[in-house]
Amino acid sequence: MSLLFSPYKLRSLTLRNRIVVSPMCQYSGEDGFANDWHLVHLGTRATGGAALVIQEATAVTPEGRISPQDLGIWKDEHIDKLKSITGFIHSQGAVAGIQLAHAGRKASTARPWEGGKQLNTAMGGWTSVAPSAIPFYENDIAPEALSETAIEELIQAFGDAASRALKAGYKLVEIHAAHGYLIHEFLSPLSNQRTDQWGGSFENRTRFLLRIVDAVRKVWPDELPLFVRISATDWVEGGWDLESSVKLAAILKEKDVDLVDCSSGGLAPNAIIPAGPGYQVGFAETIRKEAGIATGAVGIIVTAAQAEAILEEGKADLIFMARELLRNPYFPLEAAQQLGDEIEWPAQYARARRPLK
């Protein structure tokens, strides 16, 4: 059997293969509530053969949404619909995960297909928050700098969200500390210019994330895994970089984080990112080798052969896929045939099973 379709153990869980549905915002909820779009979107990827289906960035507070249509898990009323989603994913042999997030200064924007611009309060938006009152775009309304009390409340909000995620049936939590959102804003010296215990030194800038990890682990069962997604570099001189990511990853391992999901960028609009097939895989490889923690590779991974080579060369432990699974939710079924592996198909689709020509 190929490595891509070999099982992978995470604490009490065993993933049926190494393909992960990366969290992808759908901008299709209302007041944080999931609906049938999310059920079908996520459920289809489970029937398509992926091992782990991670729900999109799900806000831990209303102000933590990227857009007014983002999903949320800041109140108990959100749980019922989420239960139907996790139940279906698990019925298909996949594992349901959730990404817990706060958008920070990149919150309160229109959906991408509606322009993606910042929304003011008259347009249905709200005042965003950040470590420092520095806007993402120069002409944006500046966010409010968080008080120490507000920081403590947000740490608790992540813990409370993890408790709700457990009640909703998720078996894995990923903390979103990437792509220029709130936790990443604390990590990077480009966006964090605080002079108190939450800014300045590496130890201070990582404090917010590490406290959130502690808050989540306090309520998240020991037998269930915890991931953290990071941007391994800001792609800007003087910003967060790979060396800092390796150092952070080693600390996360000590705090019982099971895997670092290695993405990049998103913090600085002027970053020049050399995007191309597998352009972020090197980050996963370096962090895996130097920090001694499992990693996930993500970023323009589009073929079975490419994914298999990443695993064979020891560059990552799991393959996170996004846009390719939007194009083809049944990619895993096809990839298995391409690699010569026999995997289980949904019984309802068995009549379509045949070798690829």
User: Hey, which residues are catalytic here?
Assistant: 181
Least Cα distance to 206 among 175, 236, 237 occurs for 175
* Count of residues making up the chain: 357
The residue written with tokens 């520095």 in the block is 134
Strand positions, DSSP E, the chain? 8-10, 13-15, 19-21, 52-59, 95-101, 129-130, 144-145, 172-177, 226-231, 259-263, 294-298, 318-321
Residue with tokens 């996930």: 296
Give the pair of three-digit tokens for residue 249: 């990853």
For residues 20 and 320, the answer to whether their CB atoms sit within 8 Å is yes
CA angle 235, 293, 221 (to 5 degrees): 115
Give phi and psi for 15, each to the nearest 5. -75, 140
